[in-house]
Structure 1
Amino acid sequence: GFACRLAEKLAREGHVLQLFTDDEQSARELDRLLWSFGAESFVPHALAGSSAAADAAVLISWHTPLPCPTLLNLSNRPLAAIPQLQTIAEFVLNEESAKAEGRQRWQHYKQAACELHHHEIPA
């Protein structure tokens, strides 16, 4: 839900962004959610490698992250440096295992000298 709403907001503001998932199944589920998460919502998007990908402001991928200014990392792995990337958003569930993985990714980005910001999202 929150990732869809954030993608919608960023796309509406004119951002080009990528939604990065762990695998193709997660990417396809996110594709389905972006079409159906709100009755009044529309997020123009495409799956990486599809015929519509070249024209999409929101791209869903699961292989190697592609060059773009904004990336929402919905996977469980930290990302290496990506050309043109200005912002990475990470989401961490309020579960101990997810928080432990989130802390590892935080340390990865900290060691890579990224500027880090923590935001609490109300339930």
Structure 2
Amino acid sequence: MTKVNFYLFEQSNERLVHSTSRLCRKILRKPVKIWLYCPDQHLQQQLDDELWSFDASSFLAHGINQTQAPICISAELPDDKTWIVFNFDQHAIDPTIQFEHIIEIIENNEPAKVIGREKFKTYRQHGIQAQTYKL
């Protein structure tokens, strides 16, 4: 069954792209691959720029539409269901696709929280018990 984690920024105004980079760095300590599902090309470029410059002491290997990279940024979902998928779409990922792990990052602003609530409801309606981490 799909594992879904929500990271909800309640107290912090941390930017989405920065929090994504921090989570990617932490997750990549294990031998996994991360897919940043991002239909918005402007946000794709922001993620790409942030991953290049996030940490001066270490590089987070990535690429746009580069499926061989440890982190792939793409407007499409992966065919391989073993990727850890960060969802930057306005809607929940179709729960019938059955990815192993989906991550939703919710910024500390009302429009993002409204979208996050809708995503949470969608997953719950499909029997997925999402974990929420308040940051």
Question: Given the two structures, how large is their TM-score scaled by the length of structure 1?
Answer: 0.84
What is the one-letter code of the residue matched to 1:14? P
CA shift at 1:13, angstroms? 1.5
2-structure distance, mates of 1:4, 1:13 = 15
Q: Please give the secondary structure, in 1, of the residue aligned with 2:21.
A: helix
1:40 aligns with 2:40: no
1-structure distance, mates of 2:68, 2:62 = 9
CA shift at 1:82, angstroms? 2.9
CA shift at 1:91, angstroms? 0.9
The one of 38, 55, 65 aligned to 2:68:
55
Q: Please give the secondary structure, in 2, of the residue aligned with 1:113.
A: coil
Question: Given the two structures, how large is their TM-score scaled by the length of structure 2?
Answer: 0.77
Partner of 2:130: 116
Name structure 2 gaps, 5 residues minimum. Answer: 1-17
How many residues of Structure 1 are paired with residues of Structure 2 in the alignment?
A: 115
Specify whether residues 18 and 87 from structure 1 end up closer, same or farther in structure 2 by C-alpha distance, changes over 3 A only.
same
More strand by percentage: 2
CA shift at 1:55, angstroms? 1.8
2-structure distance, mates of 1:98, 1:22 = 16
Runs of 4+ in structure 1 off by over 4 angstroms are none
Identity %: 27
1:20-41 C-alpha deviation (Å, 9 max, x unpaired): 2231221122111100012113
Instruction: Spell out the pairing of 1:1-123 with structure 2 (5 A cutoff).
Output: 1-48=18-65, 53-62=66-75, 64-66=76-78, 67-69=80-82, 70-80=84-94, 81-82=96-97, 85-121=99-135
Q: Please give the secondary structure, in 2, of the residue aligned with 1:55.
A: coil
Say if 1:16 and 1:68, in contact at 8 Å, map to a contact too.
no
Name structure 1 gaps, 5 residues minimum. Answer: none
Q: Please give the secondary structure, in 2, of the residue aligned with 1:114.
A: coil
What root-mean-square deviation, in Å, do the aligned CA atoms of Structure 1 and Structure 2 show? 1.5
2-structure distance, mates of 1:111, 1:26 = 28
CA shift at 1:19, angstroms? 0.9
